Structures are given as structure tokens and as C-alpha cells.
Amino acid sequence: MRARQLRGEPPRTCTARQVDVLAAFVEAGGSVSHAAARVGIRPRTAKRHLADLRARSGLTTEQLIYCGRAEGWLVIPSLETE
């Protein structure tokens, strides 16, 4: 098994900042402007991070969220159960 397929490790195609923006996007209910405020960047920059992540992975935002949650590399604290 290749290392990037291990649970809890994001694919090589994305950066930690892109994962942070994606997590903030989910926490903000799909609002780019609220996600940008959570991360402390401009909305245009958040859009660019999400667009780059989609382009690099070849997945839609919804697919990225699903895969990230299923594989364990996208952690959304407000959605985690104890």
C-alpha cells in the first residue's frame, strides 16, 4: 500500500493550507466568505485554494469532502463525535 493511501494522510496533490480552507468551508456551511474569515484570508484567496485543490485532484468539492472525511485526512472538529 502506498503511503498516501494510509488513513489520516491527505493526498500528495494538496497542501496543508488547502485542507485548512476546505475544512473551514465545510464548517462555514459552504460559504467561501465565511471560510476565508475563519482562516484569516481574503475570499478570493480561499476560492483560489479550493479551485487549485479541485484541479490538482480532479475531484469536485463534494467528492473531496466525502473522500477526506472517509479517509480521515479532512477533520472537521464541529462534526466529530466523541
**Distance from C-alpha of 22 to C-alpha of 28, rounded to nearest angstrom:** 10
CATH class for the region spanning 3-70: mainly alpha
pLDDT value of residue 76: 86
The widest CA-to-CA distance across the chain, in whole angstroms, is 38
Three cell numbers, residue 2: 502506498
Residue ranges per domain, the chain?
Answer: 3-70
**Distance from C-alpha of 13 to C-alpha of 28, rounded to nearest angstrom:** 23
pLDDT value of residue 15: 87
DSSP state of 4: G
pLDDT value of residue 7: 42
pLDDT value of residue 10: 59
DSSP state of 79: G
**Distance from C-alpha of 57 to C-alpha of 36, rounded to nearest angstrom:** 21
Q: Give, for all 82 residues of the chain, the pLDDT tens digit.
A: 344 443 445 566 788 899 999 999 999 999 999 999 999 999 999 999 999 998 888 888 998 999 888 888 888 877 776 5
